[in-house]
Amino acid sequence: MRRAETIFVFVFMFSCGSCQTDEAIGAPEPPVVNCNCGYGDSSRIRSGDKSAMIGRPGKSGAKGCKGNKGIKGEPGSNEVILQELQNMQREIAILREDLKWFTATNGYQYRVTSTLQNWQDSRNICLDMGADLAVVGPKDYEKRLEISGALLKPRDIQYTWIGLSDIAEEGDWVWVDGSAVTAENALWNRGQPDNNGNNQDCGAIWKESYGYRSDDGRCSYIAHALCERLLEQS
């Protein structure tokens, strides 16, 4: 070996053995080697190729501290939120139902059933809604026209059950609230009631072309129903 090469190798080995670290006294992190020594191709080192001067991989640094745990929610908070949501949904459903009622100038609210059914089933539906088949509104002709114009005419409803019948005794017509029927408050259409076929015992409001006046019909006939309730009960 030539003298110059011998000196280079000696210097190289000496520097690798004495390389220093950047570790600070008392620092918690592991030392980081600050030199490139060994494990390279010596022939490439001798040739001056510094790309071969690759040192040992340094150790991984210390793991960071864990973050603080989040504040735990109050016990039952999810149940409370769910209950509040359910209450809101019920209130919205009630408001939607209220929008289906028409408030007349007589202090009552009216609604026409969306389904068709016989007179007794119609009354049951009204009762289930906290109402009854209409009595007060149909007794007054101006109010009858007001209600019919708001609920029946827009939907072109031809026949609508109201709270009027002589089911208990033929010819003895009564309102479902127990009040007496008179020519003035029944507002019969001309020639009615006629008990056609001897089985027409239930009263209804007839179509617009008949002036929304009253008619007697078979109680089993399928028709819409006009429900009525006091505004204060809504």
Residue-wise pLDDT for 140-171, tens only, equals 999 999 999 999 999 999 999 999 999 999 99
Residue 232: pLDDT band with limits 50, 70, 90: confident
Report the alpha-carbon distance of residue 224 to residue 158 in Å, rounded.
9
Report the alpha-carbon distance of residue 83 to residue 86 in Å, rounded.
5
Read off the pTM.
0.60
Which residues have a Cβ under 8 Å from the Cβ of 217 and sit 6 or more positions away?
A: 159, 200, 202, 203, 204, 223
Domains in the chain, start-ordered, CATH in brackets? 3-52 (no CATH), 100-233 (3.10.100.10)
User: If you write DSSP's letter for every residue of 125-140 in order, what string do you get?
Assistant: HHHHTT-EE--HHHHS
Residue-wise pLDDT for 5-54, tens only, equals 444 444 444 444 444 444 444 445 554 444 444 444 445 545 555 555 56
CA angle 188, 194, 197 (to 5 degrees): 145
Q: Which helix (H) or strand (E) holds 162?
A: strand 159-165
At residue 106, the 3 state secondary structure works out as coil
